[in-house]
Amino acid sequence: MRKKPQDMIKVAPVILCGGSGTRLWPLSRTGFPKQFLCLTGGESLFQQAAMRFSSLKTSEIVLAPPLIVTGEDHRFLVVEQLREINVESCSALLEPVGRNTAPALTLAALAASADGEDPVLVVTPADQTVVDTDAFIKATQAAIKEAQAGAIVILGIKPDVPETGYGYIQVSNEARLGASYNVARFVEKPNQATAQRYLAEDGYYWNAGIFVLKASVWLSALNEFRPDILDATRLAWEGKSTDSQFIRPSRDEFSAVPSESIDYAVMEQCHNSQFAVKMIPLDAGWSDLGSWDAVWKVLSKDGFGNAHIGDVVATDSSNTLVHATSRLVSLVGVNDIVVVETPDAILVADRSRSQDVKHIVNVLSKNKREEETLHRKVHRPWGWYDSVDEGGRFKVKRIQVNPKASLSLQMHHHRAEHWIVVKGTAKITNGDKVFLLTENQSTYIPLGEVHRLANPGTIPLEIIEIQSGTYLGEDDIVRFEDPYGRE
């Protein structure tokens, strides 16, 4: 029998796509963080999260387009990666500044209920991996039914090691209700001895950060426990602007929102309240990939425990992780190490110390090193550029512009540029002249001249750009017109 509309459950997937993933440097950087990396397969972690949602639909569940909460700098990465997996319809809620997960979820709840609906929100971070998708779907569908009845549901992971990097959920063993448990309390990240005790005792689970609840329930709980966050976020939402699928809360108002996590703001306060908080176990090979050691654990390995990606040759080595991006990496007689190679930085670390990579990132930040934030190859909404060489007063870039895309109309105070077309057709604006260049043709952009590079064709445009001048930083750009809304 066909379900009646009133019997259907409307579900709005919510993907929290913030964070910089500093512990996975040098592959993960602020400009291209770990959620957009392909670490455990052919799709990025963000793409995997979106693809898992597509399987939630049943005869009872109606799926709304996903809501993506991300930052302004990553909006085009979100859209492009969704396009690659044929997810064209979504709304990207762009946080002007990072304010942690509670305000992020509040933005999603306000967006999901803007048309008078009250969907069940399935909320997940974008930077996790799940090996068994079927088990994830089964647990999430059970959570959706609990949430439709008014509960706040969280997915919990049965611990197999005394992990000190996760928060824990303690459940009431005597209060098991079908597939779910009542939550007794949320527990902060423990020390080693406490984590060992949790592992030995029954009733403790890792907090995976995956929440399932109705939009109205979240807003009501936040109003009870942190009305300051709700009021400030709602004020920012009311001042929003919309540009295609991008929704921008008011910058000034959102900057005033208190920064707080979902756990601190609401979950840890719910156990003695009117809100029913339940947990459903998730046994699906879950990992948050919070370190290179965690990545090693989920990857396929050879008979010696080595997990190698890229061009790697190893002899007499065991339990190693190598991620080679652009050149041959070879190992001889080493054990339990991590080697991550990129064109501009190489990490070598003891696998047991991989959590400490964040200290390297702190040093890079203190010294204002560009390697903290950007790769040598930098993605832009119009394509990408790769800085292939650099000296005291020059820089050489390889630039690719997507079909029908263009850079901003701009000028530079400190550098001149020479462009050589190597593939495709370029439409050049150089001062008051507009003309076309094809392969092996070139032009010179004098210092201070207003200019633009565009690709009018149907294949990618590639050029070599040679910069010369006293200062060659990326901040020496004055934009006059920009199709992507950048200042």
What is the reported pLDDT for 272?
A: 72
What is the reported pLDDT for 270?
A: 80
What is the reported pLDDT for 311?
A: 97
Tell me if 138 sits within 8 A of 204, measured CB to CB: no
Residue partners of 374: CB distance under 8 A and separation at least 6? 29, 30, 31, 32
What's the pTM value of the predicted model, to 2 decimals? 0.88
Rounded Cα–Cα distance for residues 246 and 98 (Å): 17
Rounded Cα–Cα distance for residues 471 and 474 (Å): 9
Give the homologous superfamily in CATH for domain 5-287. Answer: Spore Coat Polysaccharide Biosynthesis Protein SpsA; Chain A (3.90.550.10)
Query: What ranges do the domains of the chain cover?
Result: 5-287, 302-364, 377-481
pLDDT digits (tens, 9 = 90+) for 251-281: 999 999 999 999 899 988 887 778 889 999 9
Tell me if 62 sits within 8 A of 9, measured CB to CB: yes
What is the reported pLDDT for 89?
A: 78
Residue partners of 116: CB distance under 8 A and separation at least 6? none
Rounded Cα–Cα distance for residues 424 and 33 (Å): 31
Taking 70 as the pLDDT cut, the residues of the chain under it are 1-7, 173-178, 487
Tell me if 354 sits within 8 A of 341, measured CB to CB: no
Interior/surface letters 408-418, b for 16+ CB within 10 angstroms, e for the rest? bbbbbeebebe
CATH topology identical between 5-287 and 377-481: no
Closest by CA to 426, choosing from 387, 397, 399, 449, is: 399
CATH 2.60.120.10 fits 377-481, yes or no: yes
Angle at 142 between CA 138 and CA 143, to 5 degrees: 115
Output DSSP code: residue 483. Answer: T
In this structure, what token pair is assigned to residue 223? Answer: 């109003």
Backbone angles phi, psi at 435, to 5 degrees: -155, 170
